[in-house]
Structure 1
Amino acid sequence: MTLTIWVDDWQMQCCGEPFAPGDVVSWALMEVDPEDYFDLVGGERAEGIDFREEHHGREEGVQPVPLEVASVVEVHCRYGVPPGATDRVNCPVPGTTVLVPVEAADGWAEPRPDVSFAGYLVAARRVVDR
């Protein structure tokens, strides 16, 4: 079964190891609330996210899971202060998502006009001992 895993740009930039399709990685997987990703990737795609990768999950007692990476897609979107917001916090602007399939991930992305890099959607399969 293929899982869809969200990987934050900042997690990779902080302490992530580059990966590519075909690589076997060992990641701490955390449960997600799809609603947290609706504005970022759209409702249908957010519903398909199974986990998020957490580099600091081991500190929370989460055991790493061995996975074989099947595909990697960069997620870019525009950020802005939502209309009517009382604070000045930038949030993903719904409907501005740009998805870019890539051959490898290292936490950095080629700049794209009018959007900012947010992270990766990674399709992966659990590796089972044979």
Structure 2
Amino acid sequence: MGAMTVWMDSWQMECCGTPFRIGDRVDWAVREPDRTWLADVLGPQAAGEVDAAEGHHGDVDPATGHRATGRVVGIRYAHCRYAPAHDGTRHAVPGSGTLTPVSEAEQWVEDLGEARFVGYLVQVEPE
């Protein structure tokens, strides 16, 4: 079995996450990703790569046993632009998502100009 691609929201790491780097071993509770939201933020191709979403704030039931366990073999930072919508909320601007390969997932990541940091795409190779 190949590497699993896991989405991690920026707020998950900012709140109480532990920075990690390529080569580190991880064992995360995961759930089904919100592919519709990811497609808006990252575009359909990148969203289609995502196998699971990490969560450790009560949005994943530990009893289900869904885990991403293994070595981190890739990390990409995800940024996108947001714009006001007709209903007064802000939504991701389609096609504005960018992915930047990095060797370490830091707890606090800067925005890139108008593009907001939204999360991490992490490749985990099962052991």
> TM-score under structure 1 normalisation?
0.86
> TM-score under structure 2 normalisation?
0.87
Aligned residue number for residue 41 of structure 2: 40
Amino acid of the residue matched to residue 20 of structure 2? F
Which deviations, in whole Å up to 9, do the C-alpha atoms of 1:90-122 show, x marking residues without a partner?
111111112111111123213311211000011
Aligned residue number for residue 106 of structure 1: 106
Shift of 1:58: 8.1
Whole-angstrom distance in 2 between the partners of 1:58 and 1:6: 14
Percent of matched pairs sharing the same residue: 36
User: Structure 1 residue aligned with 2:69, among 66, 70, 73?
Assistant: 66
Shift of 1:44: 1.2
Aligned residue number for residue 80 of structure 1: 83
Higher strand share: 2
The structure number with the bigger radius of gyration is 1
Aligned-residue RMSD, C-alpha: 1.8
Which deviations, in whole Å up to 9, do the C-alpha atoms of 1:53-84 show, x marking residues without a partner?
001258723444422101100001101123xx
Aligned residue number for residue 53 of structure 1: 54
Whole-angstrom distance in 2 between the partners of 1:78 and 1:65: 29
Aligned residue number for residue 7 of structure 2: 6
Shift of the 76–59 alpha-carbon distance from structure 1 to 2, 3 Å rule, reads closer
Aligned residue number for residue 18 of structure 1: 19
Shift of 1:25: 0.9
Show structure 1 runs of 5+ residues with no match.
none
Amino acid of the residue matched to residue 17 of structure 2? G
